[in-house]
Structure 1
Amino acid sequence: MSFTDEHLIPLVDVGLGNSAYLVDLGDGRALAVDASRDLRALRAAAAERGLRVAFAADTHLHADFLTGALQLAADDRATVLASAAGRRAFPHTPLADGAEVDLGGLTLRALATPGHTDEHLSFLLLDGGRGLGVFTGGSLIVGSAARTDLQGADRAEELARAQYRSLRRLTELPDETAVWPTHGAGSFCSAPPGAERTTTIGAQKAANELLAAPDEDAFVARLLGSLGSYPAYFDRLAEINRRGPALLTAAPGLEPLTPAAVRSLLASGAYLVDARPVKEFAAGHIPGAVSNALRPAFATWLGWLLPDDVPLVFVLGPSPSPSLGLGLGQDAAELAWQAAKIGYDRIAGQLAGGMDAWRSDHQPVATIPLLTAGQIGDRPVLDVRQTSEFTGGHIPGAGHAELGTFPADLPATLDGTVVTCGHGERAMTAASLLTRAGADGLAVLVGGAHDWAEATGRALEGDS
C-alpha cells in the first residue's frame, strides 16, 4: 500500500494526556496501538472509515489506564501484540526484540526499549524496508522521556539508565522517521507541557534536552530531577493490565438511587463523589461528599484520591447543552466511562434528581464558601497545586501540600483556611476532603494565585 498521513489517526485523551493510534492498513483492516478500555473514539474512527481492528498492540503494561486490547480481541477478533517479557496472562502474540509481524503490506517490528517499564517495546512501522514511523509509547516522547520510577523509587535510577540506552537506540533511526508517542502533555508519566503530540527523530535530536545530555550520568540526573508525584492508582493498574482487565459486556452507566438508598450506602461505607461544578458544590452539597468536578482531569483525581474497592455514589447536576462549551458537562455516561477506563467498576449509581431530590427529602446540606482575593484578609492560605506550580508563583505566605498527598503533610491547624489551586477545582476537592476529616470554617479562593495577583496588584512569591 502507499502509506500517507491519512492512514494514521491519532486519538487523544486530553484528560490523561495520552494518544492512542488507529492505523488504516488499506484493506478494510486496522491496527490499534495503546488503545484504552474506553474505545468510543477508536470505534467511531474505525466505523467512519469502514475498518475492523485486526491487530491491537500495546507498547507496555500501562499504569494510567486499562488496556482496550483484550476488549478488541473479544469484540473484533483482534490479535493482541505485546512484549513477551510482560508475561501477560491472556492470549496474545508475545514479541521479543526484532520480531516482525506482517500486517498485510506493512510490517511492524518490535524494538526493546526498556526504561519506562522493564518490558517496554517500541514498534517500528515499515513499508517494505522503509521505516515510516515508530510508536514509542513511554520511551522517547515530545521533548522528554517518560518517567522511570513506576517500579519503585529503588529502581528509578536503574531504569533511567535503561531509558538512556533505549533513547540512543531510537535516535539511530533516520531523522525523517515519524515519532508517535503515547504519553504527551498532561500525562503524569512525565511529559512536558506543549501542544505537539507527535514529532520526528530529527526534531527530537535537535530539541529534546534529555538527548542533549553530554553523557549517561547527566541524562539520568536530568530525568530523575524532573520527576514529580504521580497518581496513586498507577501502582495498581499495571498488574491488572498484565492479568487482563475484565471485559465489558455493556457500556458502563449510573443507576438512579433514591435519597434513602444513598443514605443506606453511605452508612455502609460507600464514598459520595459530587461531580458538579465548583460553584454548585459550594452553594450546597451532601455533608461528607468529595468534590471532583466532571472535567477532563476527573479520572486522574478519582484514581488519585479515592479507593477502588468500595462502592461509589455520584451526585450530578442538570446536564447543560453541549453548545455551552462546558467541557464534559454533567453527562452520567461520560462519568461512568471516565471511571471505567481506570478500573473503577464498583459504581453504586447516582442520586436521582440530584440535590433538589435531597433537599426535598429534608436532608442536611453543607456549604463551603467561595472567596475573592479581597475577602481573604488575614486568613491562612493553603495552596494544593503540584510542587512545580507552587514554586513557580504562589500567594505570599501560603502553605503548601499537594492535593495528591492528602491527608499526609498537612498543617496541624486548618480551621479557617482558604484553599487555593490554579482555577478552583482542586482547591474545592481539597476543602471537601479536609472538611470530611474534621476541619472547620474552610473557604476556597475563586480562581488561583495569578488571579489573586491581578486582583490585588501584588507580586507572587516563587521562582518566577
Structure 2
Amino acid sequence: MYFKSFFNGPLAQMSYMVGCQKTGEAIIIDPLRDLTPYIETAESENLEIKYVTETHIHADFASGLREAVNRLGAKAYVSGLGGEDWQYKAVDAERLAEGDVIKVGNVKLEVIHTPGHTPESISFLLTDNQSDIPMGLFTGDFIFVGDVGRPDLLETAAGVKDSTEIGAKQMYQSIKKIADLPDYIQIWPGHGAGSACGKSLGAVPVTTLGYERVNSWAFQYDDEESFIQALTSEQPEPPYYFKEMKRINRDGVNPYSADSVMPVAELTASVVLDLRQKEVFAENGSMGINVPYNKKFLSFAGWYLNYEEPLQLIGDFEMVQQAADELKLIGFDKVTGYLPGNKVNGPSYDQIEPADFKEKDKETINILDVRTQKEWDDSHFEGAKHLHFGKLTTEEIPFNQDDKIYVHCQSGVRSAIAMSILENLGYEQAVNIKGGYDAVK
C-alpha cells in the first residue's frame, strides 16, 4: 500500500493519496482544486489516479473533486447522505451510504456516516487486504487533533436556521458511534492548526483515536447537553467567503487554471486589496484594503471578497501572482489586474504609541476594538465599542465619521486592516494603536 499526506499552509488543509502498488491504482481524498501535487506524486510512484472522493461539502476551500473527474477521468465517490439540500450537483459520481466500501486495488475504504460538522459528512476506515485489522480513519472535519468539527457553519455561514444545535447533537452521536473502534486507529484529519473549522485544532498532523479519547476535550463528556454547550461556545467567526464555498462545492466550480498572469492596470474595481506590509501601508496608503500577503492572507482576504465582482491587487509582481493563485484555492477567479506598490503615492495614517495611549482617560475617548468575539469577551478596555475587523464593510460602525477613534486589535495586524477600511470610508480622525491590546497591557 502507498500512503501520502499533503498539507497546504495557507488553508491549514490536509488531503491524502492512497494507492495499491500491486495494481497501480490510487485515490485522492479531499483534494484541492490545484491537482499538481497529486499528479506529480502519482507519476513519481508509478500510480494512476483512478478514483477521487471527499469527506463532505467543504466550506473553506474549493474542492478538486470535479477537477479530478474532468481532467483525469477519475471515478468520483461522494456522500449520498444528509438530506436533499446538501447533495452534490453537476458531478457524475457514485453516492455513498453507511457501510459502502471503495476498493482501490487491494486497499479498501469503508464508509462511516459521521454527521455533526455537516449533515452529509462521512469518514473512511482504511484497511489493507494484507491484514484484517483496520489501520486508520480519514475523518475530514469530524475529528481533528485535539478538537472536533464545528457544527454551526450551516447556520452562521450558509444561513440554515436552527442547524447548529442539530449538528452538535449529531456530533455527540458520531463520537459515540465510533466507541467500538480500537485505540490504535490512526486519525487522519482534514485540517490542522490555523483552520477556522474548529476552535482548538492541534498542529500535529496525525494522532490516534486512543490519544484523542484521553486528551481531547470533546471525548470527556457523557452528558449530551454539556457537550453541546461546550462545542457551540467560543467558535471563531467564519469569514464571509465560507458561504460561497458551500454553494460552489455543492453546485460546481469552474475548471482550474494556473497559467494566467495578472496585468498592470489602473485601479477601477470596487474592491482592491493592498498586499503590502502594514508598516509600508501606514506610511504610504492607497484606496485598497490593506491585507498583507502572508500565511494568513486567505483567512483575512476572505472577509472582503465579492464573488460576483472583479478584484484588483496592489503589490509587487511575484507577490500579486502568488496571491491570485491562492485566491483560486477558495474559488475566486476574478483578479483582473494589479498596480505595483511603487506606483502608489498616498497619505499616511495617524498612530499612537502604547505608552502614550495608556495616559489617555479611557472614559473621554472613543475606542474601537476590532478583535474576535472571544478576545473581546476575555478582556477589553472599559468604554470601548466592538466590531470584528471583517465586518467593517458590511455592518454599521458605532462612531460618526468626524469622531476621533482609537483603533486596536490584539497585536496590531488586524487594526491595520481596519485603519485602511476606515480611511476609505471617510473616518479621517482614526488613530491606530501600535502593538494593539497586548502592547498596551
TM-score, scaled to structure 1:
0.84
Corresponding residue number in structure 2 for 1:460:
none
Match of 1:404 among 390, 408, 424: 390
Match of 2:34 among 33, 38, 44: 38
Q: Which amino acid aligns with 1:76?
A: L
Q: Aligned partners of 1:336 and 1:246: how far apart in 2? A: 15
The Cα shift of 1:274 comes to 0.4
Structure 2 CA distance for partners of 1:370 and 1:49, relative to 1, 3 Å? farther
Q: Aligned partners of 1:105 and 1:239: how far apart in 2? A: 35
List runs of 5+ in structure 2 lacking aligned partners: 82-86, 156-160
Q: Which amino acid aligns with 1:57?
A: T
The Cα shift of 1:281 comes to 1.1
Q: Aligned partners of 1:172 and 1:244: how far apart in 2? A: 37
Corresponding residue number in structure 1 for 2:205:
197
Q: Is the 8 A contact 1:231 1:404 kept in 2?
A: yes
Q: Is the 8 A contact 2:117 2:171 kept in 1?
A: yes
Matched, 1:424 2:412: yes
Identical-residue share of aligned pairs (%): 28
Q: Which amino acid aligns with 2:343?
A: A
The Cα shift of 1:40 comes to 4.3
The Cα shift of 1:251 comes to 0.6
Match of 2:263 among 256, 261, 267: 256
Corresponding residue number in structure 2 for 1:324:
none
Structure 2 CA distance for partners of 1:205 and 1:424, relative to 1, 3 Å? same
**Per-residue CA distance 1:50-91 (angstroms, 9 max, x = gap):** 443222211000011110111122222222221123243211
Q: Aligned partners of 2:355 and 2:225: how far apart in 1? A: 49
Corresponding residue number in structure 1 for 2:277:
277
The Cα shift of 1:443 comes to 2.9
Matched, 1:441 2:396: no
Worse-superposed segment, 37-46 or 140-149? 37-46
The Cα shift of 1:428 comes to 1.3
Structure 2 CA distance for partners of 1:403 and 1:78, relative to 1, 3 Å? same
Structure 2 CA distance for partners of 1:221 and 1:419, relative to 1, 3 Å? same
Match of 1:331 among 319, 339, 342: 319
The Cα shift of 1:397 comes to 5.4
Corresponding residue number in structure 2 for 1:214:
222
| 1:63-462 equivalences in 2 (<5 Å) | 63-85=59-81, 86-128=87-129, 129-152=132-155, 153-248=161-256, 250-251=257-258, 253-258=260-265, 261-262=266-267, 265-266=268-269, 270-286=270-286, 288-317=287-316, 331-351=319-339, 354-359=340-345, 365-376=346-357, 377-378=359-360, 380-394=366-380, 398-406=384-392, 407-408=394-395, 410-413=397-400, 415-453=403-441
TM-score, scaled to structure 2:
0.88
Runs of 4+ in 1 over 6 A off after TM superposition: none
Q: Aligned partners of 1:41 and 1:191: how far apart in 2? A: 28
Superposition RMSD in Å: 2.3
Structure 2 CA distance for partners of 1:185 and 1:420, relative to 1, 3 Å? same
Q: Is the 8 A contact 1:339 1:345 kept in 2?
A: yes
Structure 2 CA distance for partners of 1:74 and 1:87, relative to 1, 3 Å? closer
Structure 2 CA distance for partners of 1:49 and 1:221, relative to 1, 3 Å? same
Q: Is the 8 A contact 1:30 1:55 kept in 2?
A: yes
Q: Aligned partners of 1:429 and 1:178: how far apart in 2? A: 40
The Cα shift of 1:123 comes to 0.8
Structure 2 CA distance for partners of 1:52 and 1:279, relative to 1, 3 Å? farther
3-state SS in 2 of match to 1:164:
helix
Corresponding residue number in structure 2 for 1:459:
none
Matched, 1:60 2:47: no
Q: Which amino acid aligns with 1:412?
A: F
Q: Aligned partners of 1:301 and 1:449: how far apart in 2? A: 19
Q: Aligned partners of 1:372 and 1:405: how far apart in 2? A: 26
The Cα shift of 1:409 comes to 5.7
Aligned length: 421
